[in-house]
Every structure is written in structure tokens, then in C-alpha cells.
């Protein structure tokens, strides 16, 4: 049986799947959409986010582990042949953007249970975000001089449940990991902006009233 080139993702953020169109016109290519319905159906994970699915590549099996938290349909991949664990944006050296803290913690525990008795050569995340001094590179930067290595270790992955447990739901730094909720920070900035606008409006109204009163006494 000839296996097609299977294009799967860890999750659906655009920076991870914008290259799909390059594969679309090629023959024998199967692109799996990254939304939850397709991910569950394609891998065979009816009890999402519980269970581990297998992707059979012939003489090679890839385990597919649900890891929602950063993204609702996030999965991680474990290659039994090389011991590589592909963690996408669920776990990488740098920013851990957490959309659903409860789901993320459950994923961290699920993964720790999965790898505990399995060999892991490297844990490979989706981005390099640190330079060789361990300092954070700017978000979205395309130029990474002196960038740090991508790989993390099995020990790091086993420590993830404790790291995620330390998250206050908003912004927490834990070693080289910066955990934050983009949604909550945006919401807070939105409220702050509204508060500044309201305060400005009140100041302006007060100023105009005073000016009107001053004019009235002059005339
Ligand atoms: Zn992402």
C-alpha cells in the first residue's frame, strides 16, 4: 500500500499551516484540516481529549496525544522510532501562550503520564524564542541572531505539570518559560483603554464647564 504524503499540524494557528497551499496541488498528498472535528475524526479520538491515537506509516508508528490548552484541537506527536516528541506550541523554550489553563494542565499531566516509561530523545516545540543568553527574542521577529537550541528534554516535559500549575491565569514567569493568556491580557488592555477614555472624557467635560462658567462671569 502506498501511503500518501500526510500533512498534519499540531494546531490551527496560521503561522503553522499557511504553507498548506504549497502541498495542495501535489499528487498523493493528504492535508488534514486542524479544526477539532477533523482532528478527532482523522486520528480516531472519539473521547477527546482522552486517549492516544496511532498514525500508522507502515513500519513506523506515530502516537498522537491530545494536548489542548494553547489551542482547542492541539495535538502532540511521539515518533516511536526516534523517540522525538513534537510538542508544537504546547511546550517550547519561551512563551507558553495558554488559552485554557485547565485544559493545559490536564494536557501536561496526560503527556507526563504518556512519556514517563518511554524513551524521549528530544522534545521539539514549534518556535525558538530564546537567544544564547536565555533572553526572550521579540514576538514575531524574523531575525534571530545567536538563537538558542530548540530542543527540551524529557525531564523538562515531566516538569511541565508543575510549571503549568504555577500559572496565575494571567501572566507568570517560571524559569525560561513565560506563561500568559493572550485573551485575558487583551481584555485587560481593552478595559484599561476604556477607563482612560472615560477619565479623559470626564476631565474634558470639567474643563469645558469651568470655561463656560468663567465666560459667564466675564459677560
Ligand atoms: Zn500557536
Cα–ligand 1 centroid distance for 13 (angstroms): 5
Cα–ligand 1 centroid distance for 48 (angstroms): 19
Q: What is the pTM of this model?
A: 0.87
Whether 218 is in a domain gets the answer: no
> Distance between CA 58 and CA 2 in Å, rounded?
9
Whether 102 is in a domain gets the answer: yes
Residues, beta carbon < 5 Å, ion ligand 1: 13, 89
Whether 151 is in a domain gets the answer: yes
Residue 219 has pLDDT above 70, yes or no: no
Domain span at residue 105? 46-180
Number of domains in the chain: 1
Whether 38 is in a domain gets the answer: no
Q: Which of 78-82, 112-116, 162-166, 204-208 has the lowest mean pLDDT?
A: 204-208
> Distance between CA 110 and CA 64 in Å, rounded?
12
Asked if 179 and 160 count as a contact pair (C-beta separation under 8 A), the reply is no
- What digits encode the pLDDT tens for the residues 112-155? 999 999 999 999 999 999 999 989 998 888 888 899 999 999 99
Average pLDDT, integer, range 160-189: 92
> Distance between CA 17 and CA 95 in Å, rounded?
19
Whether 130 is in a domain gets the answer: yes
Amino acid at each position: 500500500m502506498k501511503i500518501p504524503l500526510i500533512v498534519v499540524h499540531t494546531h490551527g494557528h496560521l503561522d503553522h499551516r499557511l504553507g498548506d497551499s504549497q502541498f495542495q496541488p501535489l499528487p498523493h498528498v493528504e492535508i488534514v484540516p486542524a479544526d477539532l472535528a477533523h482532528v478527532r475524526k482523522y486520528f480516531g479520538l472519539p473521547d477527546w481529549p482522552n486517549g492516544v491515537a496511532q498514525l500508522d506509516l507502515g513500519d513506523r508508528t506515530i502516537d498522537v496525544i491530545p494536548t489542548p490548552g494553547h489551542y482547542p484541537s492541539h495535538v502532540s506527536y511521539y515518533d516511536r522510532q526516534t523517540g522525538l516528541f513534537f510538542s508544537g506550541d504546547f511546550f517550547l523554550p519561551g512563551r507558553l501562550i495558554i488559552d485554557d489553563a485547565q485544559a493545559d494542565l490536564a494536557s501536561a499531566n496526560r503527556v507526563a503520564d504518556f512519556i514517563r516509561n518511554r524513551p524521549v530523545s528530544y522534545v521539539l516545540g514549534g518556535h525558538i524564542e530564546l537567544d544564547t543568553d536565555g533572553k526572550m527574542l521579540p514576538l514575531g521577529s524574523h531575525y534571530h541572531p545567536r538563537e538558542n537550541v530548540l530542543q527540551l528534554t524529557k525531564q523538562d516535559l515531566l516538569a511541565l505539570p508543575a510549571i503549568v500549575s504555577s500559572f496565575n491565569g494571567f501572566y507568570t514567569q517560571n524559569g525560561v518559560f513565560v506563561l500568559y493568556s493572550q485573551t485575558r491580557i487583551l481584555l485587560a488592555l481593552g478595559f484599561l483603554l476604556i477607563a482612560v477614555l472615560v477619565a479623559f472624557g470626564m476631565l474634558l467635560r470639567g474643563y469645558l464647564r469651568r470655561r463656560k462658567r468663567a465666560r459667564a462671569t466675564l459677560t
